[in-house]
Amino acid sequence: MSIERQLIEEFERDSRKCPSDLDTRIAAEYKHRVMQQRGIPFMFRKRRMPKVVLIAVIFIVICGFGYAGNKLLFEDQKEKLSISYQTEQQLHFEKGDVGKIRSSFQEVKAQLKPGDTAVVYLQDYDIQVQGTPIVFGINKPVSIPLEAWKATLQQRSIKEKLPESILGTYKFVEGMETSPYQFNYGPDAYRLIDEMKAESKETGSKVLWRITNLSEADPVAPYTSVYRNSANDTIYLTWQIAGGDTSVKMFQAAPLGTAYEEIDIGGLTAHYMKDDHSLYGQSTIHQDVMWLKESGGKTIVYHVQTDSQNMTKEQLVEAAKSLL
């Protein structure tokens, strides 16, 4: 027998397997090192970071895999946070789909208590992006009246500019410790989706939902101050604040067809986006002027956004400039 043949046969015969006591050690060391790297205490079971951040239309995080057929809209970063927006061709809904999904969301929202966030499984829109399921959801923010909101921000040491009005006619009305567009799910999101998927297969239910557990600390916490005019048009001033020891990397998928423009506001690079098939907000239009800012050792993503069908891009940009 040739030595090559002998080598092949010996490798085939060799039955060594990883001993089970090594499994426990590897898993424990892995968890510890991952948590150390992410800068949060080692209590992996109890304090898992939420992995996905809902933004704009769709709730998804894509890690930095390159893939063809999609377009990078922009990347931006500061010390504690980097952000990358890409369009995703799977996130393309026709008008009819948008209407159906929005309607499902409203039905679920009606059943939520204020402060709840639900993960929603839609059988007709069981989509994966690069193998990761898209997790739909809806929240029902707690509206905090003006003075209580100012007190809340003070308690959280948030010192960002908070005018009484924007563009003269939009009055500051309330706040919320979330955002209609940028809200987070708990670490149980994927598990809940898997459960609902199985249930849907069994029962044929087209829309299922579960409350997601947000009890754990979020690496990027959203705060929204709401401004409204007499015609009931709304501007949402949202701050996503990354202030922990962890550096956060956000990869966001935007629907195909999202309009994008890099703009300059008072010497600052900002990003304008418009989606006219939005699943959230009071209308299907969502415009957003966003930029990153360092403030008091934290990195803040500013969003000046609206669901108003009447507001122009120029007006929104003007609103953004007034906050600098």
List interacting residues with another protein (CB under 8 A).
Answer: 1-8, 10-11, 13-18, 22-23, 25-27, 29-31, 33-34, 37-38, 44, 48-49, 51-52, 61-67, 128, 130-132, 190-191
Q: Rounded to the nearest whole angstrom, what is the least distance from the CB of residue 302 to another protein in the complex?
A: 25
257-262 contacts at long range (C-beta below 8 A, 24 or more positions apart):
257/87, 257/92, 258/56, 258/73, 258/87, 260/73, 260/74, 260/85, 262/74
Q: Rounded to the nearest whole angstrom, what is the least distance from the CB of residue 90 to another protein in the complex?
A: 14
Q: Rounded to the nearest whole angstrom, what is the least distance from the CB of residue 297 to another protein in the complex?
A: 24
Which residue is associated with the tokens 């957003």?
288
Toward another protein, which CB reaches closer, 46 or 161?
A: 46
Q: Rounded to the nearest whole angstrom, what is the least distance from the CB of residue 58 to another protein in the complex?
A: 16
Toward another protein, which CB reaches closer, 38 or 321?
A: 38
Toward another protein, which CB reaches closer, 228 or 249?
A: 249
SS3 98: helix
Which residue is associated with the tokens 């061709």?
89
Toward another protein, which CB reaches closer, 188 or 275?
A: 188
**CA distances to 62, 127, 137, 285, 289 from 187, in Å:** 16, 19, 14, 29, 29
Toward another protein, which CB reaches closer, 25 or 206?
A: 25
Nearest-angstrom CA–CA distance, 8 and 75: 49
Within 13 Å, how many C-alpha atoms sit on residue 238's CB side?
Answer: 25
Q: Rounded to the nearest whole angstrom, what is the least distance from the CB of residue 185 to another protein in the complex?
A: 12
